[in-house]
Structure 1
Amino acid sequence: MGKHARPSGKSAHHAQGSVVRARPLPVRSAVRLRRPVDIWHKPALSAVAALAIPDLTLWALGRLDLILYTSAGAMCALYAHGLPYAARARTLPWVVLGMVASLGVALTAASLITSTVLLVVCASLVAAVHKVVCEATRIGPPGNIILTFIAASAFFVPQHPGQVPLHMALALGAGVLAWLVCMAPALIRPQGPERIVVARALEAAAGLLRTEADTGGGEPAGVPPARHATAAAVNAAWQTLFLVPVHTPAKAAARAGLERLLVRAESALGDTGHAIEASAEDGPRDARFAGAEADRLGGWARELRSGRPLPEVALSAAQTEELEGVAAAEPGPRRPAPGQPRGVRAVLARLAPGSPLLPIGARVAAGCVLAGWASMAVGVGHPYWAVVTAASIYQANTTLSWQRALQRTLGNLLGLLLYTALLPLMHLGPLAMIALALACQLGAEAGITRNYWLGSVCVTPMALLLTEFGSPVPATTLIADRWIDTVVGAAVGLACCVLVTNRRAADRIEVALGRVAAAEAVAFRLLAAGPAAGADDARDIGWARDRLTGCLIELREAVEVAAGEWWQRALPEERIARAEQRGHRALAGLVRRLSEPALAA
């Protein structure tokens, strides 16, 4: 957060002390609408297609009571749309298997356990597992909420043990269909995901350069947010390109073209650092260069999004050497720095003892159990709604959890009003109900990227429609239960979030500061050694740049998480500001070292 980017006397006094402070919880920012995500329509249309086929098939067979099970697999079509198709093909099966396994646990428990109290406990533990695993794997939107919604619902569906295999098979079959739907666009635009992520990096770099042109090269207080955003966008693009296979010359050439564009976007981090350090006499010239380069990067981003052929990009000799490989025995494009855990090892490292994810898991488990029991205490017939509400509000810190609780409560209230307005259409028959459910799914994905409450307006009637397919309930009872469960789940869940504080958030800052310091030391040592003299030097500078970028992003994430905890030790704001300023100055130097001589037009 911006307020932690500049030192203050108060923070200096308490930086190393044990003083804690309570932070206010925002309201206005929680309901403010954002710009929609650029690819919102991709998961939306995929989910609609994956849901429509089994829904219509079940309607033709007269078995709409099975729609919950097919929806479990079909909802997997919402995941992995930010990944290249090769990585998506590997990731989606794990999502489907996780969904089917969760459904199997829930249905088995429903068939063997008659105590609602125990079922609430089981659903809450599964919800906690979903939250921690989704955060550790960084699966991305929609995260744990879809898995928890389906599984928690299944815990309370009347079931016989003999029915479980068939219902799991239906979910698995719909999951296979979801995989096919999500992979189908690869036949038309096989490079679509990686082109989009590189376009985002180009747009972020263009925004950074325009900011520099507007300020005229003057040094700002702290590190500009645009610089953080550009570093994060470039890093995300590299991580995506690392997942693109290069098994054929054509694929290698296509990836190399995107890498050249990304290197040019990354050069903005060095150009800006040079402009900040420039003299007043050179300022106007640097501002003109920044504006021209920003226009060029923005134009390339538009070409990427439109599917046009990749433009030719001029790079420095050091940048070209880094991309082309470091030795004859290892030809190929830029690779991740060695020594960094990846795959399963990275996930296990994030779940190790002392992980900041463990308090979040404890919050989810405790909050969901208490919310479900509170729902039972007030006589609501759908305690799993309270469990799902509690699970959905838990975010990285208390402030974000408060915002999500407010958003979900507001969205569910408006969603219940929408459901009431749709009741006459629902009475037209099953086909009308299917059409309404699909329309709500599309509306949910369109709205949720602008703000969670806006998406919840459509999610609520869709969830109630799924309930109607399985076992019809009077509308007044259904609406009353949903509203009570929403309020109970949000209130109890938020109370547990406040009581179970994440004191490890501040410890994560200390770890991140140490990693930034180590990466800075390597960077400054390489900068003191002089210009890159060959491919080996270019490789070392590139890896140092990647490590430093990752450490700075991790530090900024740790600060934002800790800053949102309502009861937390005072943050070492001066140390954070100094570390970020030095780190970005070193990063600019590394990028500039690879970019010299000056880029051609």
Structure 2
Amino acid sequence: MAKPCPVRPLPLRGLLRLNRPADIWPKPALSAAAAMAAADAVLLTLDRLDLALYTAAGALCALYGHDRPYAARARTVAWVVLGTVAGVGAALTAAALVSSAVVLVLLASLVAAAHKMLCDAARVGPPGNIVLTFVTSTAFFVPQRAADVPAHLGLVLAAGTAAWLICMAPALVRPDGPERIATARALEAAARLPGAEPHATAAAVGAARRALACSPARTSTLAPFVARAEAALSAAGNGPDEAERLRSWARTLRRGGPLPKDVPAARPEPTAPKPGGARTVLARLRPGSPLLPVGARVAVGAALAGWTSLALGSAHPYWAVVTAASVCQANTTLSWQRGVQRVVGNLVGLAVFTALLPVARTGQIALVLTALALQIGAEASMARNYWLGSVCVTPMALLLGEFGGPHPAAGLAGDRWTDTLVGVTLSLAVCVLVTNRRAAGRVETALHRARLAREAGHSREQLTAALVELREAADVAAGEWWQPALPEDRVAQEEREGHRALAALVTTA
């Protein structure tokens, strides 16, 4: 019988600490702002700003894919647009045909769970499922006539198409920009060795190799830099001169200038396979997948939060649904951290909303500009800490409701605060009660794959991917409650052996 894992205390220290800004935050921020501004300009011209909910749903698709090469970005953003159209279409149809708010909450919760599982399985990257859940859950409670649904979906698709074009436009100027940034990140991670954790460098190197795999003909000149970053995983680590050389190369790659000539040629190594499509996503959602309990948490937590919000008289129960969906993370500890950050961010955000509302109500243009500024601010601050990003997201979400006409500010603020507390409380309770014991099984599977990759002499890329998967599985399981004790010693030993084998492969290259 497996020894139970002790329940770890939920931390408070460091929950509000600010991290370094994301290195590419202007790209999603300005892309989404441009898509929203273009749509809002058309609506202002037509005096139909009340339709901004539909165009905003499509425009927010421009937040995705900016960490990927353009070939992969084209696919990712296209799928996000189609998923948004499908989700909003289901929501608007339900809004037109279903009169029961209780049923609408249930449907919104099930869609939110589907968003969570699909986004995690597809690994779409930030902002993940939460933007899709926000626009879809809102659409479930928009007064709707069945005859208007096709036209409204057309607006979503049109804005989504514009978002896709905006995301792809930089390829005309700097077609290898994402690959350069991925390679620069690998070099920067390697420059921090031996002080940094080896798995951080392994993850950055793996991401760089996957980026190069999307366009090997154009980016083969970057492969030696990735190999040099990988070489830093050797037991010798970096000296000051080597670390500075790696950082210098990274700066040159980020600036987009000519490639440095002082990097030695590397032995040819097969690049990573391209990311899988629908078949890979479905495989990650097979019975027994650790993603399924997380989806169950979202469905149950969101439904309970929405129904409680209705019982308390809130006119915006979808806010409770979205809160619950955003709080439910990969494990209990991460969910606790997100819940505390959400409460703090929403509280400060309500104060910002109260301060900005008089300015936003001076005219439609002022309303649009305020919402766009908050959108950019959210992307600039979200990576620093979720609570800081929520300070901008909260008033932006409330102001989007003003596009259709003014609402009592006290009622909006009261509903938002109530729904935040309800969503956080119930989702955390569900995260504790709905256990994810499959997290421990994922660690065992990852251990087996890492050992097989090491002992069978697999390629550097396969061994790197196995080590990254092992570290991710261990981190997720470490923050989960009510499960068997984790094989921490075996994980640490396998990581040491794996990085030693990886260093040997690099040294002999």
> Normalised by the shorter chain, which TM-score bucket?
over 0.9
**2:7 matched residue in structure 1:** 22
* Structure 1 segment 260-299 matched on structure 2, within 5 A: 260-270=224-234, 273=235, 275=236, 290-299=239-248
What is the TM-score of this pair, normalised by structure 2?
Answer: 0.97
1:311 corresponds to which residue? 260
Aligned to 1:476: 410
Quick one: distance in 1 between partners of 2:141 and 2:277? Answer: 35
Residue 137 of structure 1: aligned partner: 122
Alignment of 1:487 onto 2:421: yes
Match of 2:483, SS state, is: strand
The AA in structure 2 aligned to 1:550 is: A
- The SS at the match of 2:21 is coil
Tell me if structure 1 keeps the 8 A contact 2:5–2:486.
no
CA deviations 1:478-515 (Å, max 9, x no partner) are: 11011100100111111111110111111111111111
Q: Which amino acid aligns with 1:558?
A: A
Local SS of the residue matching 2:6: strand
Match of 2:474 in 1: 559
Q: 1:436-515, aligned counterparts within 5 Å?
A: 436-515=370-449
1:42 aligned residue (24, 27, 43): 27
Contact in 1 for aligned 2:94/2:140 (Cα 8 Å): yes
Which residue of structure 2 lines up, in the alignment, with residue 237 of structure 1? 208
Could you tell me whether the CA contact under 8 Å between 2:92 and 2:149 is conserved in 1? yes
Secondary structure in 2 matching 1:22: coil
Q: Describe how 1:307-386 pairs up with structure 2 within 5 A.
A: 307-315=256-264, 319-320=266-267, 322-323=268-269, 334-336=270-272, 342-386=276-320
Alignment correspondent of 1:578:
493
- Per-residue deviation, 1:551: 1.1
Three-state SS of the structure 2 residue aligned to 1:228 is helix
Aligned equivalents of 1:107, 1:233: Cα separation in 2:
41
- 1:167 alignment partner, one of 152, 169, 180: 152
Residues of 2 paired with 1:559 and 1:231: CA distance? Answer: 15
Alpha-carbon distance in 1 for matches of 2:484, 2:52: 49
The question of whether the paired residues in 2 share the 8 Å contact of 1:86 and 1:245 is answered with no
Aligned to 1:418: 352
Structure exhibiting the larger radius of gyration computed from Cα positions: 1
Q: Distance in 2 between matches of 1:489 and 1:134?
A: 21
Q: What is the deviation of 1:342?
A: 2.5
Q: Quote how far apart the aligned CAs of 1:60 are.
A: 1.5
- Cα distance in structure 2, aligned partners of 1:551 and 1:181: 35
SS in 1 for 2:18: coil
Q: 1:483 to 1:243 in 2, by over 3 A?
A: same
Aligned pairs for 1:529-568 (under 5 A) are 543-568=458-483
Aligned residue pairs total 509
1:357-380 CA distances to partner (integer Å, 9 max, x unpaired)?
000000000000000000011111
Q: 1:177 is matched with which residue: 132, 142, 162?
A: 162
What is the rounded CA distance, in whole Å, between the counterparts of 1:25 and 1:505 in structure 2? 18
- Give 1:31 deviation, angstroms: 1.0
What residue ranges of structure 1 are gaps of 5+ in the alignment?
1-15, 212-224, 277-286, 324-333, 524-542, 595-601
Q: For residues 516-551 of structure 1, what are the alpha-carbon distances to aligned partners after superposition, in whole Å with 9 as ceiling and x for unaligned?
A: 11112123xxxxxxxxxxxxxxxxxxx522221111
Question: CA deviation digits over 1:211-246, x for unaligned, max 9?
Answer: 3xxxxxxxxxxxxx5211111100010011111253
Q: Tell whether 2:14 aligns with 1:80.
A: no
SS at match of 1:488: helix
Matching residue's letter, 1:233: A
Deviation at 1:335, TM superposition (A): 3.0
Unaligned runs of 5+ in 2: none
1:437-494: CA deviations, max 9, x gaps? 0010011001101000000000011100111112432111111011100100111111
Matches of 1:341 and 1:34, distance apart in 2: 29
- Of 42, 51, 65, the residue aligned with 1:57 is 42
**1 CA distance for matches of 2:360 and 2:2?**
61
- CA distance in structure 1 between the partners assigned to 2:28 and 2:487 by the alignment: 40
Contact 2:209-2:461 within 8 A present in 1 as well:
no
**1:313 Cα deviation after fit:** 4.4
Q: Distance in 1 between the 2:423 and 2:275 partners?
A: 37
What is the aligned-residue identity percentage?
60
Greater RCO (Cα-Cα under 8 Å, separation 6 or more): 1
> Is the aligned partner of 1:407 residue 2:341?
yes
